[in-house]
Amino acid sequence: SSAQIGVTGLAVMGRNLARNFARNGFTVAVHNRTAAKARALVDEFGDEGDFVYTETAKEFVAALERPRRLVVMVKAGEPTDAVIKEFAPLLEPGDMIVDGGNAHFADTRRRERELRELGIHFVGAGVSGGEEGALNGPSIMPGGSAESYAALGPMLEKISAKAADGSPCTAHIGPDGAGHFVKMVHNGIEYADMQLIAEAYQLLREVAGYSPAEIADIFRTWNRGRLDSYLIEITAEVLAHVDAATGKPFVDVVADRAEQKGTGRWTVQIALDLGVPVSGIAEAVFARSVSGHTDLRAASRGLAGPAAEPLSDKEAAAFADRVEQALYASKIVSYTQGFHEIAAGSAEYGWDIDLGAVASIWRGGCIIRAAFLDRIRAAYDARADLPSLLADEGFAREIGAAQDDWRAVLVAATRQGVPAPGFAAALAYYDALRAERLPAALTQGQRDYFGAHTYRRTDREGSFHTLWGGDRSEVEA
């Protein structure tokens, strides 16, 4: 038993994580259901570090020094349970199983509970950064016990991405499913970021009349400012790409139906359960859904729209600046909503998640990495109990400065018939939160009218009901 860590499940992610551990000086036992993949990994990359090839589950477990650290990188769902079932009987109390797959946090909570009874630490760890990140440094969001993090953390810190200030993009998120919960919300925010960028693109194209290549340049400029992020950077690359077969912009030859694997949907489902308004993330999930309804779209194509109002070059340039403001403001809102969901999940499950630490470990390695996350971290550093990112002075000032342009962009989008559900949902959230009075008072009146659901008053304590079917006097409920 000589390996400090083992990786089972050697598709793209597991294979690259195993290489990352080996490149960082750890001896790595490798295992895969189909053993040929483990063999191939050692044959191909054996010179990168110390690998221990193992064929059977027994050999794999025997190769690991105690307490054993066993990383599972298999297809999420059923396969994860199958692998746990295979390995758990071979392990001893104190050993750790780390699930790096995209598990649902509720499954992670169940698995952690079941394995805890055997004395085995189960660590649900969200891993972001795709194939490239797994190899060169992902952002890692581990849950599980503090004890398991003590044994595992230093290794994860070594292989994780590093932020610009050199700090590792991993930290103990909290017990049981906390890590996978945070990874889920990370993906939800990723959906929202992508949708907002897509809306900015479409507005620049259809309202301002810019070509994909010109928009790529605009995004490159934005990427040198406060929107500096991986997603803006790759958006410019995608927009500048020309299809070799047709000579057309690549973005014009790709079918406009966005697919999804489910983590965005989970983020919204859980937010509904927790009562957290994540309207920006929800619109992003719905926008992908709308794009996929090709029959519905075909049947609706003849519906009336507004006449085009082309902009002059000067107007287009001014509009592009406004879109930057709208994008930035909407982005602040989607992170506000995502962090609210994490705070609510943390309270619900007793995880005690440090929101500043979450922002900190998203600064590098992961898909939503951005200069912006430094700001979020600073906001929570300044005030750990910040009730909302919008309550941070700096963000409040910036979003306030952006609001006129944000509104102007939505006016233009509406006039020209370009859908911008992400921008619109974000602005509606902002306006709802700052409103002195909401029409929820009227909603309460309606509920009391048809269902005697009662209401509270602004001027007295207690619950009240109006006798709507009678003399309309008020009674205390």
55 scored as a contact of ligand NDP (CB under 6 A): no
> Which tokens go with 153?
């953390």
Q: 200: annotated binding-site residue?
A: no
DSSP string, 23-90: HTT--EEEE-SSHHHHHHHHHHHGGGS-EEE--SHHHHHHTBPSSPEEEE-S-TTHHHHHHHHHHGGG
Q: Which of residues 235-254 bind ligand NDP (CB under 6 A)?
A: none
13 scored as a contact of ligand NDP (CB under 6 A): yes
Q: 186: annotated binding-site residue?
A: yes
| Residue 399 DSSP symbol | H
What is the set of active-site residues?
183, 190
In the bound state with ligand NDP, the residue whose beta carbon lies nearer, of 73 and 353, is 73
Identified binder of ligand NDP from the candidate list 54, 102, 108, 229, rule CB under 6 A: 102
Identified binder of ligand NDP from the candidate list 5, 18, 52, 83, rule CB under 6 A: 83
DSSP string, 102-140: ---HHHHHHHHHHHHTTT-EEEEEEEESHHHHHHH--EE
187 scored as a contact of ligand NDP (CB under 6 A): no
Identified binder of ligand NDP from the candidate list 75, 383, 434, 457, rule CB under 6 A: 75
Alpha carbon 382 to chain centroid, angstroms: 24
Strands 474-476 and 463-466: antiparallel
Find the part of the chain contacting ligand NDP (CB under 6 A) among 38-46, 74-82, 278-286, 388-396. Answer: 74-82
- Sole residue written with tokens 């950077």: 233
367 scored as a contact of ligand NDP (CB under 6 A): no
33 scored as a contact of ligand NDP (CB under 6 A): yes
Distances from the Cα of 307 to the Cαs of 68, 304, 313, 474, in angstroms? Answer: 67, 10, 19, 53
Q: 415: annotated binding-site residue?
A: no
| Residue 363 DSSP symbol | S
- Sole residue written with tokens 């995004």: 219
Cα distance between residue 50 and residue 22, in whole Å: 6
In the bound state with ligand NDP, the residue whose beta carbon lies nearer, of 102 and 195, is 102
Cα distance between residue 209 and residue 218, in whole Å: 13
The number of beta carbons lying within 10 Å of the beta carbon of residue 222 is 23
Q: 220: annotated binding-site residue?
A: no
Closest CA relative to residue 378, chosen from 364, 395, 398: 395
Q: How far is the CB of 159 from ligand NDP (least distance, A)?
A: 14
Identified binder of ligand NDP from the candidate list 92, 131, 147, 404, rule CB under 6 A: 131
Cα distance between residue 36 and residue 34, in whole Å: 6
Structural contact between residues 353 and 346, judged by C-beta atoms closer than 8 angstroms = yes
Residue nearest to ligand NDP (CB): 101
In the bound state with ligand NDP, the residue whose beta carbon lies nearer, of 49 and 79, is 79
Which residue type, as a one-letter code, is found at position 76? A
- Whether the link from the prior residue into 310 is cis, omega within 30° of 0, is no
Q: How far is the CB of 417 from ligand NDP (least distance, A)?
A: 36
Q: How far is the CB of 33 from ligand NDP (least distance, A)?
A: 3
Measured at the CA of 240, the angle between CA 237 and CA 243, to 5 degrees, comes to 110
In the bound state with ligand NDP, the residue whose beta carbon lies nearer, of 38 and 329, is 38
Find the part of the chain contacting ligand NDP (CB under 6 A) among 67-75, 278-286, 403-411, 450-458. Answer: 67-75
In the bound state with ligand NDP, the residue whose beta carbon lies nearer, of 70 and 208, is 70
Identified binder of ligand NDP from the candidate list 20, 27, 32, 330, rule CB under 6 A: 32
Closest CA relative to residue 127, chosen from 71, 69, 67, 49: 71
In the bound state with ligand NDP, the residue whose beta carbon lies nearer, of 127 and 320, is 127
Find the part of the chain contacting ligand NDP (CB under 6 A) among 12-20, 309-317, 450-458, 467-475. Answer: 12-20
Q: 76: annotated binding-site residue?
A: yes
Identified binder of ligand NDP from the candidate list 41, 127, 284, 427, rule CB under 6 A: 127
Phi-psi region of 74 (alpha: psi -120 to 50; beta: other; left: phi over 0): beta
Point out the annotated binding site: 9-14, 32-34, 74-76, 102, 128-130, 186-187, 191, 261, 288, 447, 453
Which residues of this chain interact with ligand NDP, rule CB under 6 A?
Answer: 9-14, 32-34, 37, 73-76, 79, 82-83, 100-102, 127, 130-131
Point out the annotated binding site for substrate: 102, 128-130, 186-187, 191, 261, 288, 447, 453
